[in-house]
Amino acid sequence: MTTTQQPPYPPPGPPHRPGSGPGRGDGGEHGSGGGHGHGHGHSHSHSHGPAAPVSKHLRKVIAAILIPFSVAVVVGLVALWPGGAPPHQRTGVGFDRQTQQATVTQVTSVSCKAGGGQGAPAGDPSGAGAAPQDDKGPCKKATVRVDTGKDRGRTFTELVQPDQTRQLAQGDKVVVAYEPTAPKDLQYAVTDLDRKFPMALLAGIFAIAVVVVGRLRGVMALVALAVSFLVLTLFILPAVLQGSNPLLVAVVGSSAIMLIALYMCHGLSARTSVAVLGTLVSLLLIGVLGSLFIGWAALTGNTDDSTGLIHGLYPSIDMSGLLLAGVIIGSLGVLDDVTVTQTSAVWELHEANPSMGWRALYRAGIRIGRDHIASVVNTLVLAYAGAALPLLLLFSIAQSGVGTVATSELVAEEIVRTLVGSIGLVAAVPVTTALAALVVSADRPAPGTAAPAGDRPVAAPGGRGRRRKR
């Protein structure tokens, strides 16, 4: 019995006969795939085999859009390239202070009432509060050796109160702050533990996991991640510090990251180009909405110690523009995931059933996208909520009303950041799905024309790939 009607979406693959193999039959020679034995091991995987070929006309259309955009990004990078962060005099506040590496060589117990020798409590480079103030237990006097810098080998003592969060033990690797204008016995003070080894180990485990699971695609993803980090540290941050418009810098930098990461990870193909176009449209929407609502809500972007310090060191920086730049950059990573997934879904639906028109492809793709929207938006909201959890706890302790909390600038920034990014993510699904459906459905090969040998699925060994009889 032969099937006479194509369903509006690809049916599940029928079981294969023994000996026929999991591969798809000679689909290029037998027309549309409604009656073929399609194997999911090949045609539904995002990482196996090349994408379906695209006609020369469609390649020209895509190139006509992306080539000028890429040229504009390169011109923007050259025009805005900062050449390094501008110099400034260190304030000695927060992260803006000189630091060295050191080692705790000895720890002894001393009486808190009697004091413990010279030095400020751990984490207090100013020396304030050096006098012990409680007797909840014995204090500790740590001897610390400086391991780097011009004072390498010099030792100093550090008094650690029993109720301090960070306690010191012999052999600990620590970071010490250096203040050259302070009295000699108070020039150094412990500010933090040295976490280089555990952080490097965790990064190594992550890299190994990505390569083992992703293989070559995983290697390319790690390379793209490194390039993205370089663009961020060598272009975006120094350009903002030089006084360039943060929004313009973020748009150019994000576009460069998007082009490099997507094409490097997913290859130079029409499928990737459609994902790039969908990402670009969504980023533009996020930029417009973010600019509108940040201005409408009168958000200054200067709401905590870090932004206050930046504004104090570089008063020329537009802090509200910096906030908008953060919204755009923060949304880019999730946008890439949405657009690539939707494009791949539409392409695979077309591969499974080449007779589907663009409307049928769009309807099937958008059903997949709805599930993606639900999970991605929830992920984004929870990520921002987790980052702002200490702040939310403070409002909870103060027993402030929900309206008061939501409209305060600290929380309003996170709300605008979350909702604007989420609107861009939601819009990316129908936009990218429609673009992919239009491109792939307009690329039907002429009747009787077989696909190139390199793009045609190959039957598995042991099977002849003949048409299934029903």
The predicted structure's pLDDT at residue 210: 93
Backbone angles phi, psi at 309, to 5 degrees: -65, -40
* Sequence-distant (≥ 6) Cβ neighbours of residue 263 within 8 angstroms: 272, 276
pLDDT at 21: 41
Please give the C-alpha separations between residue 450 and each of 28, 440, 444, 457, in angstroms, as whole numbers.
5, 17, 11, 12
**pLDDT by residue (tens digit) across 79-98?**
888 876 666 666 555 556 78
CA 339/CA 372 separation, integer angstroms: 10
pLDDT score recorded for residue 208: 96
Among residues 327, 461, 343, the alpha carbon closest in space to that of 52 is found at: 343
* Residue from 269, 344, 441, 354 nearest 38 by CA: 354
Residue 261 neighbours by CB under 8 Å, 6+ apart: 224, 225, 227, 228, 336
Q: Kindly report each contact of residues 10-13 with a partner whose C-beta sits within 8 Å and lies 24 or more positions away, as own/partner.
A: 10/38, 10/349, 10/352, 10/353, 10/356, 10/364, 13/37, 13/38, 13/39, 13/40
Distance set, CA 43 to CA 14, 39, 336, 351 (Å): 14, 7, 22, 7
Where the chain has pLDDT below 70, the residues are: 1-57, 84-96, 113-137, 380, 384, 398-402, 405-406, 443-470
Candidates 280, 274, 262, 268; CA nearest to 331 is 280
Q: Which amino acid is at 353?
A: N
Alpha-carbon distance of 326 to 410, in angstroms, equals 15
Report how far residue 87's alpha carbon sits from residue 266's, in angstroms, rounded to the nearest whole number: 39
pLDDT at 297: 83
- Residue 275 CB contacts under 8 Å (≥ 6 apart), including other chains: 262, 266, 336, 339, 340, 342, 343, 432
Q: How many CB atoms lie within 10 A of CB 15?
A: 9
Strand partners, 110: 139
Distances (CA, A) of 87 to 79, 90, 115, 386: 21, 9, 41, 34
pLDDT of residue 201: 95
Question: Crossing angle, helix 270-296 and helix 319-352, to 10 degrees?
Answer: 150
The residues facing 160 across adjacent strands are 140
Quote the pLDDT of residue 25: 39
Q: Take residue 44 and report the two structure tokens written for it.
A: 């539904």
230: amino acid identity, one letter: L
- What's the pTM? 0.65
Note the pLDDT of residue 402. 67
Amino acid at 129: G
Give the end-to-end CA distance of the chain in Å, rounded to a whole number: 4
The predicted pLDDT at position 98 comes to: 80
